[in-house]
Amino acid sequence: MRIVRSLFCVVAFSYPALVHASPVQVDSGKISGIALDADSGLQVYRGIPYAKPPIGDLRWRPPHAVESWKGVRTCDTFGPASIQKTGRNATQEQSEDCLYLNVWTTKGGDESAKLPVMVWIHGGGLNLSWGHKESYDGTAFAKNGVVLVSINYRLGALGFLAHPALSTESSRGVSGNYGFLDQIAALEWTRRNIAAFGGDPENVTIFGESAGGTSVAVLCSSPLAKGLFHKAIIQSPWMFGYIDELASPNIVKLKEPVSNTPSAEQLGLDWAEPKVKGSNADALKALRSLSPSEILERVRYYRTRATIDGWVLPDHPAHVFAKGQQANVPVIIGTTRDEGAYFRNYVRFAQRAELEAKLEAFYGRSVKKVLAQYPGESQDELKQAGIQFVTDAWFVHPAGQLLEGMQRVSSPAFQYDFAKPSSRNPRMGAPHAIELRYVFNTLNNADEFPENQVLSDKVMKYWVRFAYYGDPNGPDLPRWPEYEGNRKPYLILDDSISTGFDLRREASDALEGATQGIYN
């Protein structure tokens, strides 16, 4: 199997000489991990296979069960990331053989411990990244009484390509969403095996950010995932928008267009041309014969989307939630104050007509009410308008749709607005993904900015309390009100934690009105 080396720069984990922990039994065989801290009992098991390598004839198929092994498998090295198109200087190993997960625990081998389990699903536009980045280290969660699981799943074309030839081959008549099926397989593995690591299979929280938040929303909406988790945290769900088009759906239908975007199958046909023509058996063979490098060469950024296929995903998650058909579990859903600042270099407009044209291409006649929320004529004003539009349309409005849908079920929902500005670049505000190191307590600037550690400790307490009880509130924490009533309270996470109401209500109302009926 050819291995492709990533180009992303990643900080290597730094641990002392490896001390192997006692083996534990999982359903495919025995594995050994690494003992990290004798005092706390901290152990990590890296690179545990949760499905058979999706290579050869298993490319673009649902994940298959892992083959059993004899003896003790050493799990002291993180598995490869899914192949992806990245920059020039990274060392992260990549491969199609990427279906591995990692477990941090202080109770390995103690099946009576029944600690809450948290399963982390990384973001990256469904195209990039991996679950074992240094910023996602599970040490702090484990030391706070959680069994932390992080996963890798198929990305880009390998994880989400829909194509008529693949649909014809499928017994379900569908294609795409393979990466979501990987995530479901990882949850099934967790349910079967997590007790061996001291975890409670009846108390599993899934959480993810950006495309990981999208993934959590999809899992909450999928009949295939029901019963596999009991709580969900959806951080900055990316459920709309593409950088070049600005306003464009990233959740599409398998066989029908959505607004100005073709069906998932048509997008797959367009992507496969000219190397793979047609949609018959020969096309299927040609697709599977493409090398990983040929798949990456197709375009700089494969336009990966979630597909409404009637099997993995029955409808747009916002519609599933609006009908009260989602998993009836407690949720935390939130965004950062300045999400769009992360994409600031992609929202430059020479004149207002450029902004208007991008939005009109998707919203059509409804565009005027949307544009009224984002005034400006100068380049600086237009850039700020674009940043605010991305914040609202890509993240805040979709998060609000899910929160509103939670009013249809009995489980509680809690909303947050992470407002703590970047310490080293305060003018950016609180951009997309800034909360991640606070959530995992993996700050790299706490010595320089000790107030950041104070906030990180509180955020982790909220997340851990929620994993234990389905309610983030607890001693020594400012009260987090439930999302309900007419004014819709939310928690503002900053140096001083406070409560706000009706986050970006006017803009969200305009966006909601403009998108009505687009999927129907």
The CATH number linked to 102 is: 3.40.50.1820
Q: What is the per-residue pLDDT for 293? A: 87
The residue assigned the tokens 């929202």 is 347
77 domain residue, yes or no: yes
Number of structural domains found in the chain: 1
Which backbone phi and psi does 28 adopt, to 5 degrees? -105, -5
Q: Is 432 a catalytic residue?
A: yes
* Number of Cα atoms under 13 Å in the Cβ half of residue 335: 27
76 domain residue, yes or no: yes
Enclosing domain of residue 154 = 4-85+93-515
Q: How far apart are CA 226 and CA 32, in angstroms?
A: 31
By CB atoms closer than 10 A (0-12, 13-18, 19+), residue 349 is buried
520 domain residue, yes or no: no
Q: Answer whether the bond into residue 223 is a cis peptide, omega within 30°.
A: no
Q: How far apart are CA 327 and CA 368, in angstroms?
A: 36
Tell which residue, 43, 49, 47, has the closest CA to residue 18.
Answer: 43
Residue of 209, 339, 360, 435 with catalytic role: 339
| Residue 223 contacts residue 314 (beta carbons within 8 Å) | yes
E strand map for 279-398: 306-308, 331-336
User: What H or E segment, with its residue span, contains residue 360?
Assistant: helix 352-363
Q: What is the per-residue pLDDT for 463? A: 99
User: How would you write 139-186 as a 3-class SS string?
Assistant: HHHHHCCCEEEEECCCCHHHHHCCCHHHHHHCCCCCCCCHHHHHHHHH
Q: How far apart are CA 60 and CA 57, in angstroms?
A: 8
| DSSP letter for each residue of 432-466 | TTTTHHHHHT--S-TTT-HHHHHHHHHHHHHHHHH
459 domain residue, yes or no: yes
- Six token digits for residue 333: 């859903």
Q: How far apart are CA 472 and CA 413, in angstroms?
A: 10
Neighbours of 435 (CB within 10 A): 24
pTM exceeding the 0.85 threshold for the entire prediction: yes
Q: How far apart are CA 169 and CA 176, in angstroms?
A: 12
Neighbours of 495 (CB within 10 A): 11
- Contacts (Cβ under 8 Å, ≥6 apart) of 510: 369, 370, 372, 373
Q: Is 132 a catalytic residue?
A: no
Residue of 132, 230, 316, 432 with catalytic role: 432
- Six token digits for residue 382: 């237009």
Q: Is 339 a catalytic residue?
A: yes
Residue of 82, 167, 210, 222 with catalytic role: 210
81 domain residue, yes or no: yes
| SS3 at position 20 | strand
52 domain residue, yes or no: yes
321 domain residue, yes or no: yes
> What averages of pLDDT result for each successive group of 10 residues across the chain (520 residues)?
38 56 94 95 98 97 97 97 80 94 97 98 96 97 98 96 96 97 98 98 98 98 98 97 91 94 94 88 93 77 87 98 98 98 93 96 94 96 97 98 98 98 96 98 95 98 98 96 96 98 98 91
The one-letter amino acid at 239:
M
Q: How far apart are CA 325 and CA 311, in angstroms?
A: 14
Q: What is the per-residue pLDDT for 12? A: 39
- Six token digits for residue 259: 């607004």
Cα separation values, 151 from 58, 103, 284, 331, Å: 19, 9, 29, 20
The one-letter amino acid at 490:
Y
The one-letter amino acid at 97:
D
User: What H or E segment, with its residue span, contains residue 382?
Assistant: helix 379-389
* Number of Cα atoms under 13 Å in the Cβ half of residue 376: 21
